[in-house]
Amino acid sequence: MTSQPTLTEAQGGHGSPGEAGGSGTGSGLQAGLKNRHLSMIAIGGVIGAGLFVGSSSGIATAGPGILLSYALVGTLVVLVMRMLGEMSAADPTSGSFSAHADRALGPWAGFSIGWLYWFFWVVVLAVEATAGAKILEGWIPAVPQWGWALIVMLVLTATNLVSVGSYGEFEFWFAGIKVVAIGAFIVVGGLAVFGVLPGVDSDKAGLSNLTAHGGFLPNGPGAVLTGVLLVVFSFMGSEIATLAAGESEDPQRAVTKSTNSIIWRIGVFYLGSILVVVSLLPWNDKAIRDEGSYAAALDSLGIAHAGQIMNFIVLTSVLSCLNSGLYTASRMAFSLGERGDAPKAFARTTGRGVPRTAILVSVVFGFAAVFFNYKFPDTVFLFLVNSSGAVALFVWLVICFSQLRMRRIIQREAPEKLVVRMWLYPYLTWAAAGLIVFVLGYMLTDTEHDGRETVLLSLLVAAIVLVVAVVKARVATSRSREEIPAD
């Protein structure tokens, strides 16, 4: 058990943007993100490609009851983001929850969750690059799929290497397209559901679809929990705004704003759009599984080229996820380097405040994962995907335990920094942690959707990282003892 650090001690060595802070040849991370960048990163961060691609399997499994699955996971994300917002507003840092875990729970926790999170995102790079390449190859087949994956990765790597501002600008437009697309979908679909969309007379649309085909829970209440397993991972990315806040003009304001807006973002983009989908079409309509939920919904309205429209939106989401994934992985690697949990080179920045080494290392592993996806899709790459699958839940669980301890540290040392407070502390924090543990336990019973394999492989990788963290801590302790001169 480590002794509780004070907030002052906790903040030591974690400079704000613009400070050298062990950054080597550069001047440390710089405040290159504008308020409009942060606002759109926060909004777009909750809209992952998984919402468009993965929702169809959830609807097929739980029927209209998938709304309860999204509401349950959405509530959990709101609670976790509130906890993270409390800690990040008091101490904005590029390492976000990894740095907070380091301070609240000990170096072993920061090391473990930081590397697991980095591993998750470099695998995501490969998944999203491949998904984007498939769409682009369908449009321009003259370029092979692997060629498109390479082009996409190189372009976004170059974007991230230029400056944090260029990342923010790209993400502003990527996220903007997603937000406009979902907003338009909800408006158009909502008008069709109530029969007031000009030029459209859909015989399938109506709120009756929520109960007319076997009831609201056609496959029973248990299907809601199975739906949770299928949709939980599409929420990963909500925390990106707290990492990016460390490179903004006013980190505390950015964190506070993104934390306070998470409820309406999830309510509108997830629950709102899914409600429109299951109202436009019966949940068991074959088109939902064959075409994808959103494309099938647009097709049902007779909108021309609905499939290609959705391909464009999905491609934008993929590029956004790639862009943010590379940014997130590199900043986590930078933070690990700053704290001595990764090679010091990871914490070096260019004159523009870009952690070049951290970006390039993340890209190299991303390229390796892309190679495995094409060469060994059913062995090596499948292992990578499954072994990183439960990391989102691990991250959220660590955030819960970190907040339980950090609240006491902040209250004791700098109560004026509690500008964002977790509701009903500590009861809701414990409730969120309990729900996460329950979901992990339920996944162990799921063999149909690979839930058990995902949890077991993720636990295996987590155990390996944890062992490395403990060994590293013991080596550091023994070295420090040897350096203490004898009396």
The answer to whether residues 333 and 355 touch, using CB atoms and an 8 Å cutoff, is: yes
Q: pLDDT tens digits, residue range 104-126?
A: 999 999 999 999 999 999 998 88
Q: pLDDT tens digits, residue range 431-467?
A: 999 999 999 999 898 888 788 999 999 999 999 999 9
Return the percentage of the chain with pLDDT > 70, whole number: 92
Instruction: State the pLDDT confidence band at 11, using cuts at 50, 70 and 90.
Output: very low
4 pLDDT above the threshold of 50: no
Phi, psi of 33 (to 5 degrees): -95, 130
Helices (H) and strands (E) in the chain, counts: 21, 0
Q: Which residues of 228-258 are buried (b: 16+ CB within 10 A; e: fewer)?
A: bbbbbbbbbbbbbbbbbbbbbeebbbbbbbb
Instruction: State the pLDDT confidence band at 309, using cuts at 50, 70 and 90.
Output: confident
Q: What DSSP assignment string belongs to 200-261?
A: ---SS-SGGGGTTTT-SSTT-THHHHHHHHHHGGGGTTTTHHHHHGGGBSSHHHHHHHHHHT
Query: What residues pair up with 248 in beta bridges, in sequence order?
Result: 33
Distance between CA atoms of residues 345 and 324, nearest Å:
22
Query: What residues pair up with 57 in beta bridges, in sequence order?
Result: none
Q: pLDDT tens digits, residue range 430-440?
A: 999 999 999 99
pLDDT at 352: 86
- C-alpha angle 245/249/253, rounded to 5°? 60
Return the percentage of the chain with pLDDT > 90, whole number: 42
- pLDDT mean over 225-231: 87
pLDDT at 139: 93
Q: What DSSP assignment string belongs to 299-366?
A: HHTT-TTHHHHHHHHHHHHHHHHHHHHHHHHHHHHHHHHHTTSS-GGGG---TTS--HHHHHHHHHHH
Query: What residues pair up with 33 in beta bridges, in sequence order?
Result: 248
Instruction: State the pLDDT confidence band at 13, using cuts at 50, 70 and 90.
Output: very low
Distance between CA atoms of residues 42 and 351, nearest Å:
27
- pLDDT mean over 221-236: 86
Domain limits, the chain:
23-477
HEC states along 91-122?
Answer: CCCCCHHHHHHHHHCCHHHHHHHHHHHHHHHH
19 pLDDT above the threshold of 60: no
68 pLDDT above the threshold of 90: yes
The model's pTM is 0.88
141 pLDDT above the threshold of 80: yes
Instruction: State the pLDDT confidence band at 14, using cuts at 50, 70 and 90.
Output: very low
Q: pLDDT tens digits, residue range 77-109?
A: 999 999 999 999 888 877 889 999 999 999 999
Handedness of CA 284, 290, 293, 298 (dihedral sign): negative
23-477 CATH choice from 3.10.350.10, 3.90.550.10, 1.20.1740.10, 3.30.465.10: 1.20.1740.10
Distances (CA, A) of 334 to 90, 167, 182: 20, 16, 34
